[in-house]
Amino acid sequence: MECRPGCAACCIAPSISSPIPGMPDGKPAGIPCVQLDDQFGCLLFGLPERPAVCGGFQPLPDVCGSHRDEALWLIGELERLTG
């Protein structure tokens, strides 16, 4: 599965505990990463400053669902169940 352009659910729904440029304490669940551009693309994609946790996130049907709203819900549920 490929990432859907403009989705960014994995950059919004989960919490990220590692530092992100512009978010030195990480990111709370449900808050968009400051590194998202206006089209919901990652400004750090492919750069060494991108946190390892972000690079390790893989698009999967069970996590991403069939559309962006479903992905936000699924990832949010995973966050709630494991948080």
pLDDT tens string 34-64:
999 999 999 999 999 999 999 888 999 999 9
All residues at 6 or more sequence positions from 2 whose CB lies less than 8 Å from its CB, including other chains: 59
How far is the C-alpha of 76 from the C-alpha of 74, rounded, in Å?
A: 5
Structure tokens at 71: 């992905």
What pTM was computed for the model? 0.89
Helices and strands, number each (H, E), in the chain? 3, 0
Structure tokens at 45: 């994609």
Instruction: Identify whether the C-beta of residue 75 lies closer than 8 Å to the C-beta of residue 63.
Output: yes
Residue 19 has pLDDT above 90, yes or no: yes
